[in-house]
Structure 1
């Protein structure tokens, strides 16, 4: 998850009527959209966020304690599940953009996630749905049966749909309620802040209930919040400005490629009259010139009224430029995958570190291992608020320009590298403490993990909102839901990549044994530092050559207004 701020770009409504109408009215006669809808959108995200993070945050512990998973196997399973949750966002985005619209997609996926969490609750309350409990290190210790795994994974799959789909599509629906780009940017900041706040509440409250009272009660609370979030979302229907699906935008992108190939022998011209241009279309630019073939008119491509007669041989200039935009932004998207992969590894390894450390705060309270990542959430939430209210406005006042998304993303890269350095140093100290006290085993305080997790949170506060804002404002209008899902896809791919990387490290080195006290997790972190530095250099190179499609013009316009 993560946040945003004040930049500018035309909205879907302003460009080609992505909404039904800018002045869409409800049945009671008031105008739809605006900040009134933020209450319903944020309340929905709060309910579904508490529900989703309530089971996901503590999943590793649940798999180890209740389903007898080995520790590294549990983290690998959690990586795959986290990856799938984020990757499923693109499915919801495609359905919302192309066929069903955001409202229907959110309603259906929220209902499915409710069913999943109810089944998950049953696995925690009915003994026959999970393996027999065994003490840590005891033998024989039987793992879950095929039936146990079938029920467990069915529950997780359904629950994942809500957490994965709703976050991205709900963000799009909320952003579409605003016409002013500054309002959109502010909305992004506060909706991500809301997501982090929900995660904090869930990790403090629900995870504590799961660890200290019962798993069944904890999952039951998640189900109740899921139901509440769905109910609030449905109640806000009369206030939403609904998007209108226009059919699959991916078909038009495919047509550009096909048409360009079919006309590859046609000479590309700089004269505008040879291209098929719709209203407000300019002459195609010279980048990726091969694709310009798709917009060149040849005999028989246009009918008697000037419309495209052969859509797989002729595309509009705008369709060509939309595909070019996606191609230009892909390298930046890829760099985000490689900066998110170390974070994914760190998140799960921090839980294992916490299990091996002294988690007491005072004589009577013990931090649940699954709650350790709350430090990241609190750090991110506070950082987002401070950035939105103080740092970004101060930067704009001093420089006369808004802090661009790429600069924010770059700052996020730097903080994440620092967090890995801190992680390596802390783990080295932890292992030394373990080895020095092998006989009496005096575990190191889990509070030592806090600084590195705080740095992760600050990095996410810069990087995640910057990426979401970049994608939303730079993507073609027809792909707005896809745009907000792109960061979740980044995280999903990162979890898959991190799973493969951990497997590689396990097979090639002895750094990650069953007991991390016998391993060298610090070497894993140092490896991630090196990879992070290489990726940061790649990002800087991509950012240097990237030209904003729309945002740069808007930033300059804002700067001129501020200077007057």
Structure 2
């Protein structure tokens, strides 16, 4: 029975209504909801992660170097887990559900943090000042604390990258998307600044209970703002993760490793098309072990049910895990080609990770008074690096880079900016070594008093602003330059991978910084429990030497790299 004209038009009318409704969503009306959610999450998560070292020292009586190691592992997790969150979002659920789940998990994390601070049974007895005789936390107490830390990392994994993607999805034009990203970084860094100052001050200077309660309230407000804006969001369906495509190439290459590929070769281009080894459609000659994934073996042609020809392999249609396109192979090869240059940035992140952990211990052993009534929280000293990053960025864009163009005729390339970042980072490690050497000189004058736990060096903590500022300026060159390089060199299908490469550097840097510190503790006497009796300056000198050698490795990688363009 034929359907009526009205029945035939109804699906079209429904589709038009859905398209019209979709066009009504998105746009700048979503910015207040997304920005409000970002601010609450950023200040709570960053403030707590920055101050975790002090929380372990003062409330759980963890030894200083061990506390620095734990804090660096947590910081690394906060930058690594979001990569998994981005993959899950792209492949399965989309941005909004993952962000919603991540925010809810963060709320639960701060409930546990607040309970650890409020309930005496969840932490060891208070001991002032902390010393070797103070009782450590029990396994049960540490289980609750580490559960809160794990929930914080998981929740951040669902929000940190996906919020940027959700915001960009609200706009159809590239110009609006670029403007949104500018606002995204403004709100992100603003939340970090508030977290590293106000939240750290509340937790360490007023009350840990009040500080964690404020974080809980801010995270809950973020959840409310996110839900309130749900009616306005565009929520594109997930299109699949590029990581799956990369995995298919690897699997296909392994499965074909023993196949006979001698003689004239045909490469699968896609859509039933093949290209011989001498044509433009063939893959590049590098990494031939990967190219076999696109070799078309035992090909025949059959006719599909609609009368169009369809390419098969043997008696079966091509499988994505047995045969890949030339483009998929080239995508993987471009990723592999970038890895040596990417690896040259790991040591910079290691040096920054070591410095962030040690500089808080230095601040605890220095005069932190700023006037007669105010003491700078030790955990807030690292905000100097963040402030230097923000301040240096417009200086580079408006002053340094134009001067570079006048001298060379062109703006610095991303790799040149990365190279400058290497040099500035080396200078930062040298500055850190010189400042610590000066501090130890003051300690030697007060040799007897410096052996007492909690003794404060009569030297202003503001001396630490110098190395932190230099390192922050180096980050303003290195990390944006890296991200721009990856974004330009990676194919369009791997743009999400490109944006994840720089955060992966940060994560690996924090993890490996714990390994570096552990090795130094085992083979030297530079890092005792009381840093006044150690040689932290030698640690910084070692990092400066390693960074110099690593800069040479970077230059070699640059000379050998062949750009896609």
TM range (shorter): 0.7 to 0.9
Retained in 2: the 8 A contact 1:278–1:317? no
Match of 1:494 in 2: 509
Q: Secondary structure at the match of 1:276?
A: strand
Question: Does 1:377 pair with 2:386?
Answer: yes
Q: Which one of the candidate residues 435, 459, 465 is aligned to 2:480?
A: 465
Aligned Cα root-mean-square deviation (Å): 2.9
Moved more, 530-539 or 191-200: 191-200
Question: Does 1:405 pair with 2:400?
Answer: no
CA distance 1:384–1:139, change in 2 (3 Å): closer
TM-score by length of 1: 0.85
Match of 1:353 in 2: 362
Question: Does 1:155 pair with 2:148?
Answer: yes
Q: CA deviation at 1:286?
A: 2.4
CA distance 1:167–1:156, change in 2 (3 Å): same
- 1:268-347 matched pairs, under 5 angstroms: 274-278=267-271, 282-300=281-299, 304=303, 305-306=309-310, 309-311=317-319, 312-347=321-356
Q: Which one of the candidate residues 233, 239, 249 is aligned to 2:226?
A: 233
Q: Which one of the candidate residues 219, 229, 243 is aligned to 2:212?
A: 219
CA distance 1:46–1:137, change in 2 (3 Å): closer
Retained in 1: the 8 A contact 2:272–2:310? no
Question: Does 1:65 pair with 2:58?
Answer: yes
Q: Secondary structure at the match of 2:458?
A: coil
1-structure distance, mates of 2:32, 2:263: 52
CA distance 1:168–1:505, change in 2 (3 Å): same
CA distance 1:322–1:192, change in 2 (3 Å): same
Per-residue CA shift, 1:428-449, capped at 9, x if unaligned?
1100111012256652111110
1-structure distance, mates of 2:224, 2:34: 11
Q: CA deviation at 1:476?
A: 4.5
Match of 1:265 in 2: 260
Retained in 1: the 8 A contact 2:268–2:324? no
Match of 1:417 in 2: 426
Per-residue CA shift, 1:100-147, capped at 9, x if unaligned?
122222111111011101110111111111111112255642100111
Match of 1:430 in 2: 439
Q: CA deviation at 1:168?
A: 2.1
Retained in 2: the 8 A contact 1:207–1:368? yes
Query: How many residues are matched?
Result: 525
Retained in 1: the 8 A contact 2:425–2:470? yes
Larger RCO of the pair (alpha carbons < 8 Å, separation 6+):
1
- 1:32-181 matched pairs, under 5 angstroms: 32=26, 37-138=30-131, 140-177=133-170
2-structure distance, mates of 1:110, 1:456: 32
Match of 2:13 in 1: none
2-structure distance, mates of 1:531, 1:302: 58
Q: Which one of the candidate residues 203, 206, 228 is aligned to 1:210?
A: 203
CA distance 1:446–1:138, change in 2 (3 Å): closer
CA distance 1:425–1:504, change in 2 (3 Å): same
Q: CA deviation at 1:353?
A: 0.2
Q: CA deviation at 1:414?
A: 1.7
Retained in 1: the 8 A contact 2:352–2:471? yes
Match of 1:560 in 2: none
Q: CA deviation at 1:376?
A: 0.9
1-structure distance, mates of 2:106, 2:269: 46
2-structure distance, mates of 1:392, 1:186: 22
CA distance 1:352–1:508, change in 2 (3 Å): same
Retained in 1: the 8 A contact 2:483–2:499? yes
Q: Secondary structure at the match of 1:298?
A: coil
Retained in 2: the 8 A contact 1:175–1:188? yes
Rg bigger for which structure? 2
Q: CA deviation at 1:534?
A: 1.4
CA distance 1:483–1:274, change in 2 (3 Å): closer
Per-residue CA shift, 1:172-203, capped at 9, x if unaligned?
33445566667656655553343222111112
2-structure distance, mates of 1:278, 1:53: 48
Question: Does 1:200 pair with 2:208?
Answer: no
CA distance 1:302–1:206, change in 2 (3 Å): farther
CA distance 1:194–1:405, change in 2 (3 Å): farther
Q: Secondary structure at the match of 2:367?
A: coil
Match of 2:21 in 1: 27
Q: Secondary structure at the match of 1:443?
A: strand
Question: Does 1:252 pair with 2:245?
Answer: yes
Per-residue CA shift, 1:260-299, capped at 9, x if unaligned?
34165314868xx743335999432222233222222222
Q: Secondary structure at the match of 1:360?
A: coil
Moved more, 293-302 or 430-439: 293-302
Moved more, 280-289 or 92-101: 280-289
1-structure distance, mates of 2:555, 2:289: 27
For structure 1, the 5+ residue unaligned runs are 1-23, 553-564
Q: Secondary structure at the match of 2:441?
A: helix
2-structure distance, mates of 1:110, 1:303: 52
